[in-house]
Amino acid sequence: MYYQNIFKEGKIGNLSLKNRVVMSPMGTNLAGPAGEVTDQLVAYYEERAKGGTGLIIVEFTCVDYEYGKGFVRQLRLDDDCYIPGIHRIADTIHKYGTKVFVQIHHAGRQSSSALINGKQIVAPSNVVSTAIGEEPRELTTVEVKELVGKFVKTAERCKQAGIDGVEVHGAHGYLINQFLSPQTNLRTDEYGGSFENRMRFLEEIIDGIREKCGEDYPVTVRLSVDEFVEGGIDLELGKQISQYLETLGVDGLHISCGTYESMDRIIESPLFEQGWRVYMAEEIKKVVNIPVITVGSIREPRFVEDILSEGRADFVAIGRGLIADPEWVNKTMEGRDVEIRKCINCLHCIHSAMGGSHILCSINARAGRELEFKEQQQLPANKNCHVVIVGGGPGGMEAARNLSLKGYHVTLFEKENKLGGQLHLVTDPNYREKMMWHIDYLSNEMKRLNIDVRLNNEATVEGITALNPYAVILATGGRPKLPQVNGNDLAHVYTYEDIKLRDIMFSNNKVTVIGSGMICHGTNRRLAEAGNDVTFVEIPTKASKRIGSDTRLRLLEKLKQVNVNIITDHKLEEILSDRVIIQDLGSGNQVEIESEYVIVAMGIEAYNPLEGALMEQMKNVFVLGDAAGFSSLGDATRDGFEKAYFLESMVTEALQTV
């Protein structure tokens, strides 16, 4: 065992946990339309329990579906009829020696009228959240006392369902957090004003749970000990709240931060460093004697071990890391660190769940689809099939990995001298580190599975057909897309690939960069740091739509720090030999920008030079990822996984069309 602190038994109250890894509660949208437990939700949690996690905290679970809903398909336990479903989750998780809590929750002003059938949202006071934009109705004193009862009754149901304990959600700007914060609690009754009055709502919930569930039933509280909002809770007040909760008999504190108005501090983009939030838990641990759980983009076993060995926290919560790799704990325990598929913070899971889908992962195609892809399909016993893959990007390697696991012999051609494809284009230091994690993971899988990888080898039709493959998968990627305007073919027009892959660079020149997205921002910064006078004309692209608004603002701020001139809300009209002409989308006025060089970073278009010629000789040819017109890591991973999973049926169908 490499990490003795991670695998020490731990305790929360009188509950023993087999290790120090906690799965953070994360909304999945996998509940049913009425908030009920579904087979897929059970399978999702089972996968993480089977992977060795010590404690799973089930996603935020609504105590009041009429006013407290915070998600489209939020899990609920506000009625006895939902107990059997929660009992299924408990029984399933317990099979693997994992303990389970449920996080009980009310959204307060961070709900919306659309979520609660057109009713006005409620809150301690009628303070508008700028993130929601709706004025809440102030709860009456009687309603507050009724809500205390709803939290307590939900905790009772958890105990009846066999759940080992409850986490009271007092963080992230939700209702309890709203009562705790001087910025959102302006009440003049017994639940507002002084510190003790602002604590009263949470105090009565805790006292009620103790009375109904017993002194030995574990209760933890998740706290935003710094809201990062002017006039709200700061770390000093967070310490005071934590100390007060300890006097109330709380069994542990799960330390977080932020509200919807500082969302980038709750769900970090790739720009944040691993474990950046740990300092908050460390500060709380200095002033309390109960267990402290820390969280915050923690990905590497060594990092977790160091937190524990240094006494900065008692438990480490991993959220998105367990979406990306449910076996994180088992792999760590078995010394298989290099096999861990580390979360890269790309926010694909968040965007998918908030965009009408259920939770998905850009690097784990099975996440949220565990029932659909239960296990690898096996080849018929009489087959010893050879599959050729062209392209060593993430889609090609994901296909190779899964085909090898199914028993295929795989040969992968890559024309460059390294694997990873366009993932190498990311240059932001924090984001690049995370992308390299994924490149390293996939590259190691190629070695571990003995896949025949041929670098510096551009595949040809003759070379492929000479291997007489059962099937060919083309993952040849994409190439930079050029704007459809006059001048796009001039000699001084380059693409982001020229800058990032071919090391073409200028200095002390006037350069205009056109486009958007993470790679575009990196291109701007690289050119500015080389001493150029850079103007960035932000043109919306597919890639930019995958960046959250908070991340975009953070990226723009980074560019301002290196003196990039930023122009938004314009469109490109024409590229001339010495200038670029753009048009203001509002006024229609044209603007000329003096430019010695123009760099285009407007995304990619499919590059697929082999399909036509190959199809003349064989039918079992398939195209995936960017080469098939997709343009994201998530699409490439999913496409590579699915084509590997369903290859037999695809080949059968292709041959039937001959």
Catalytic residue numbers, as ranges: 174
Alpha-carbon span 234 to 125, nearest angstrom: 20
Alpha-carbon span 295 to 313, nearest angstrom: 10
Report how many helices (DSSP H) and strands (DSSP E) the chain contains, helices first.
21, 27
User: 549: exposed, middle or buried (C-beta count within 10 Å: 0-12, 13-18, 19+)?
Assistant: exposed
Structure tokens at 143: 């309603």
Alpha-carbon span 293 to 245, nearest angstrom: 15
String of DSSP letters for 382-411:
T---EEEEE--SHHHHHHHHHHHHTT-EEE
Structure tokens at 193: 């004003």
Structure tokens at 375: 């296990």
Contact 284, 225 (CB under 8 A): yes
Alpha-carbon span 252 to 167, nearest angstrom: 9
Strand 533-538, strand 99-105: pairing: unpaired
Q: Which amino acid type is present at position 89? A: I
Cite the beta strand spans of 131-210 per DSSP E.
137-138, 165-170
Q: Which of 56, 60, 59 is nearest to 94 (CA)?
A: 56
Task: State the alpha helices, DSSP H only, in 466-539.
Answer: 496-500, 518-529
String of DSSP letters for 192-258:
SSSHHHHHHHHHHHHHHHHHHH-TTS-EEEEEES---STTS--HHHHHHHHHHHHHTT--EEEEE--
Alpha-carbon span 258 to 110, nearest angstrom: 13
Alpha-carbon span 531 to 129, nearest angstrom: 42
Q: Which residues contact 612 (CB under 8 A, 6 or more apart)?
A: none
Q: What is the rounded end-to-end Cα distance, in angstroms, of the chain?
A: 55
Strand 565-567, strand 621-623: pairing: unpaired
According to DSSP, the residues that pair with 478 across neighbouring strands are 606
* 426 phi and psi angles, rounded to 5 deg: -70, 130
Q: Which residue has the tokens 């024409």?
A: 574
Q: Which amino acid type is present at position 400? A: A
Alpha-carbon span 251 to 245, nearest angstrom: 9
Structure tokens at 634: 């998530």
